């Protein structure tokens, strides 16, 4: 006689419930978006009580904070895979394309990472560290281009400018404000936009 598959509440252990909740939250994030993501619904999907979920994440803010931290961690990891042998604008183009593709592959997660929930400065330590790590990878790229120490003020300023550019372009595409022209690859679209932006500073006043 066949036995029914065990439910999550029958098989989970305290040590692995937290990642299960986080995984379920990420799945639901892609389905319903950040505003409709609730900790109670996540617990129901995993098959555990709300009390069990709250034992690992004190509230919704803590849950989505860890989820955003996971996103920044993955972004940092992706940026660390940039091509080190390239130089100058090619190095910046490579890092920007990695960033652009990560965001477009994870649109709901990306929007959560930069969402209004974290604009008050009340972020979990994990989120703060993950965000700084992602920014650190971008600073390293800029430091390599400028051949300066990553902690130099000019590197930090240039990294802020680079992040502002790619984040703005990415957000406009994700929200459908800008469209990639038919037949144009992501790389070509990004390259054309980056070159056009650079022309603003090369033109004579």
pLDDT tens-digit series, residues 100-158: 999 999 999 999 999 888 876 667 888 999 999 999 999 999 999 999 998 999 999 99
pTM of structure: 0.84
**Is 70 exceeded by the pLDDT of residue 9?**
no
Rounded to an integer, the average pLDDT of 39-56 is 87
Domains and CATH numbers, the chain: 1-57 (1.10.10), 64-202 (1.10.357.10)
- Contacts (Cβ under 8 Å, ≥6 apart) of 81: 98
Q: What integer pLDDT is reported at residue 203 of this predicted model?
A: 56
How many whole angstroms separate alpha carbon 28 and alpha carbon 23? 9
pLDDT at 160 over 90: yes
CA–CA separation, 148 and 145 (whole Å): 8
């Amino acid at each position: 006689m066949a036995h029914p598959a065990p439910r999550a509440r029958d098989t989970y252990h305290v040590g692995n419930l937290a990642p299960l909740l986080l995984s379920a939250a990420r799945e639901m994030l892609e389905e319903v978006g950040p505003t409709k993501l609730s900790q109670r619904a996540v617990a129901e999907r995993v098959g555990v009580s709300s009390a069990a979920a709250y034992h690992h994440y004190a509230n919704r803010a803590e849950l989505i904070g860890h989820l955003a931290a996971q996103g920044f961690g993955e972004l940092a990891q992706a940026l660390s895979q940039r091509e080190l042998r390239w130089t100058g604008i090619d190095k910046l183009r490579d890092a920007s394309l990695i960033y652009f593709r990560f965001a477009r592959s994870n649109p709901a997660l990306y929007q959560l990472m930069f969402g209004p929930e974290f604009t008050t400065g009340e972020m979990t330590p994990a989120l703060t560290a993950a965000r700084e790590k992602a920014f650190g990878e971008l600073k390293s790229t800029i430091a390599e281009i400028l051949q300066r120490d990553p902690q130099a003020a000019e590197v930090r300023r240039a990294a802020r400018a680079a992040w502002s550019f790619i984040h703005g372009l990415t957000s406009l595409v994700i929200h459908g404000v800008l469209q990639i022209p038919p037949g144009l690859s992501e790389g070509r679209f990004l390259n054309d936009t980056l070159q056009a932006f650079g022309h603003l500073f090369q033109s004579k006043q």
